[in-house]
């Protein structure tokens, strides 16, 4: 199990939290997603089979930006 912490821009409310939690949570091999609006971070617990790129593109597909 791996933990990836991503900085994400554009998240502002509970709707954003839900959208990201649901979208990333639906990816294969994801066991937990948590979003912190204050620190603009998304923390994902996932299996090694799921690449970080896949998580990033899923978040971008929801309309948010990854902060490099
Ligand atoms: Cu929102």
Instruction: Tell me the pTM.
Output: 0.95
Could you tell me the CATH number of the domain that includes residue 12?
3.30.70.100
Q: State how many domains the chain has.
A: 1
Spacing, Cα 28 to ligand 1 middle (Å): 24
Q: What is the mean pLDDT of each run of 10 residues along the chain (68 residues)?
A: 97 98 98 98 98 98 97
Spacing, Cα 33 to ligand 1 middle (Å): 16
- Domain holding 51, by residue range, is 2-67
Q: What pLDDT is attached to residue 8?
A: 98
Spacing, Cα 23 to ligand 1 middle (Å): 14
Kindly give the interhelix angle for 14-25 and 52-61, rounded to the nearest 10 degrees.
140
């Amino acid at each position: 199990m791996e933990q990836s912490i991503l900085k994400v821009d554009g998240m502002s409310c509970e709707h954003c939290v839900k959208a990201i939690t649901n979208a990333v949570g639906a990816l294969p091999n994801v066991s937990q997603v948590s979003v912190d609006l204050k620190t603009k971070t998304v923390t994902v617990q996932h299996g090694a089979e799921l690449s970080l790129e896949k998580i990033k593109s899923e978040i971008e597909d929801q309309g948010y930006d990854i902060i490099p």
